[in-house]
Amino acid sequence: MAIRQEANTPLIVTIGVASAVLLIVVTFGVEAWFLYEEQRETESKWKQSRNLVLEDMRQTQTQNIRSKAKLPIEEAMKQIVAKSGSAAPAGKPDEAHK
């Protein structure tokens, strides 16, 4: 009985092409997964980080608002009109003086 010495070339080429395609798909899949996880981690860290400048600014504003004397809105409007000298908006002529 004789032993076959020929290689099955079509089978070898098919296995090689299938392996190359599988390797490319796995490579792109792992890269996409890595980028997704990296983005999730970055978003998580941004949500956990504190903006100290903004927090200080808001705290200062809140203290300024709470420390001012409370004044009824009607009285505040009268004082603003008295300081400006007229009830017309800035930059527009007063309708009553025409």
Residue boundaries of the structural domains of the chain:
10-86
- The pLDDT-based confidence of 56 (bands split at 50, 70, 90) is very high
The DSSP symbol for 97 reads G
Per-residue b/e over 46-82, b at no fewer than 16 CB within 10 Å?
A: eeeeeeeeeeeeeeeeeeeeeeeeeeeeeeeeeeeee
User: How far is the C-alpha of 84 from the C-alpha of 98, rounded, in Å?
Assistant: 19
pLDDT of 90 higher than 70: no
pLDDT of 93 higher than 60: no
Counting residues of the chain whose pLDDT is more than 90, the rounded percentage is 47
Q: Which of 81, 86, 89 is nearest to 97 (CA)?
A: 86
- The pLDDT-based confidence of 92 (bands split at 50, 70, 90) is low
pTM for the full model?
Answer: 0.46
One-letter amino acid at 89 equals: P
Give pLDDT, residue 6: 85
